[in-house]
Amino acid sequence: TGYCCYLRTNSNLESRLHLGVDSRHYRLASSPLFQTPRGYGEDVSYSMRITLEGSQISCSVSDSAGQLAQVSATDSTYLSGGAAVLARSGKSQHHFGSIAITPAIGSTMR
């Protein structure tokens, strides 16, 4: 359970970004379809970022040229907790270059 920022590939060149809560993937927000002209593959990198500040949640995805999509919502179901990364099974392999968790200034992580 918790918040989920996920990238749904509609095709090799088109995707949508979703922001959800709990394992039912209840959608708080969804982006319009956006183009991924470089497609998906081992030599193509994307950055995904989720930011939680109080009840404000935002999620974005970028490539080397800049931001491709962003979604935002307000929800206060969870005001503390941990973080996790999930790669769903599919036809392509998933590679993670790095994962960073940075607490806000003055906050503590448990």
3-state secondary structure 16-56: EEEEEECCCCEEEEECCCEECCCCCCCCCCCEEEEEEECCE
Alpha carbon distance, N-terminus to C-terminus of the chain = 17
Task: Say how far apart CA 74 and CA 13 lie, in whole Å.
Answer: 30
50 lies in a domain? yes
Range with the poorest average pLDDT among 10-19, 61-70, 84-93 = 84-93
Supply 6's token pair: 């996920």
pLDDT band for 70, please (50, 70, 90 cuts).
very high
**What's the whole-model pTM score?**
0.77
Which structural domain, as residue segments, surrounds residue 57?
Answer: 3-74
Residue located via tokens 């593959």: 41
pLDDT of residue 39: 74
Q: Is residue 103 part of a domain?
A: no
In a domain, 109, yes or no: no
The number of domains in the chain is 1
